[in-house]
């Protein structure tokens, strides 16, 4: 029985570990405003960016800290704090980055840092394409004339500048509803996780019953004759 519990627990860990980013229901995407075409060593540049929960809407809580982090090939790190702009989820910061190749991340308050792209100095900022599962469908149009890159007026989702949209399969209304309710997690993944959890619960219950039976003193049955000396 103990071996069964260990095996089931291992399966559950593998299932949870295999969940896509969207499974946690707690992520955000940093979209960059159009950046300067070229960056030079020691020069100051103003950069605008947006931090959208689920890739499509402003976070309702407190977004702190927020900014951009630049990490060099040697491990050195520079972080520039963002200042909130009038538009929801819109920020700006001024950066001065030395010569080199830098990994660029968006610092997103309670969310994990987002991999924006790579900055080469002297050179340009190369923005990573946004993963398809990082942008959930739905939501509202929160912005006016000033809006995140790729979000046209009236559209509820978008992709970062320079990130081509990947072709999407058309889902049925039932599939769309299930995906929205599960936070973007495939239904089969949730079913597997639920099934493994149920098996763990049953196995634990059986183990408890067996232990209780072993601990209880054995009593003579009604047909047993007890002979006293």
Q: What is the DSSP letter of 22?
A: G
Residue 138: its pLDDT value, please? 74
Tokens of 68: 């951009």
User: Does residue 121 or residue 17 have the better pLDDT?
Assistant: 121
Q: In what order do the strands lie in the sheet with 77-81?
A: 77-81, 66-72, 100-108, 111-121, 125-127
Tokens of 43: 């020069």
Spatial contact of 112 and 168, defined as CB atoms under 8 Å apart? no
CA dihedral 68, 73, 74, 78 (to 10 degrees): -10
Output phi, psi for 178, to 5 deg: -65, -40
> pLDDT tens digits, residue range 109-134?
999 999 999 999 999 999 999 999 99
> Is the entire prediction scored with pTM above 0.75?
no
> pLDDT tens digits, residue range 76-95?
999 999 999 999 999 999 99
Output phi, psi for 32, to 5 deg: -90, 135
Spatial contact of 31 and 111, defined as CB atoms under 8 Å apart? no
Cα(197)–Cα(112) distance, integer angstroms? 27
What integer best gives the mean pLDDT of the chain?
76
């Amino acid at each position: 029985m103990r071996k069964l519990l260990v095996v089931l627990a291992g399966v559950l860990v593998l299932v949870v570990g295999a969940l896509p980013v969207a499974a946690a229901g707690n992520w955000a995407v940093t979209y960059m405003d159009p950046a300067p075409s070229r960056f030079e060593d020691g020069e100051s540049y103003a950069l605008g960016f947006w931090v959208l929960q689920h890739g499509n809407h402003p976070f309702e809580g407190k977004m702190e800290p927020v900014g951009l982090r630049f990490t060099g090939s040697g491990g050195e790190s520079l972080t520039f704090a963002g200042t909130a702009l009038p538009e929801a989820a819109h920020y700006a910061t001024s950066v001065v980055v030395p010569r080199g190749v830098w990994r660029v991340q968006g610092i997103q308050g309670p969310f994990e840092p987002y991999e924006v792209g790579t900055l080469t100095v002297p050179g340009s900022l190369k923005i990573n394409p946004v993963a398809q599962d990082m942008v959930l469908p739905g939501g509202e149009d929160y912005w006016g004339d000033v809006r995140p890159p790729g979000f046209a007026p009236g559209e509820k989702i978008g992709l970062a500048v320079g990130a081509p949209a990947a072709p999407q399969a058309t889902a049925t209304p039932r599939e769309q509803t299930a995906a929205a309710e599960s936070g973007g997690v495939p239904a089969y993944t949730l079913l597997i996780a639920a099934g493994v959890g149920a098996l763990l619960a049953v196995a634990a219950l059986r183990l408890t019953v067996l232990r209780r039976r072993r601990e209880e003193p054995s009593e003579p049955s009604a047909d047993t004759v007890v002979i006293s000396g």
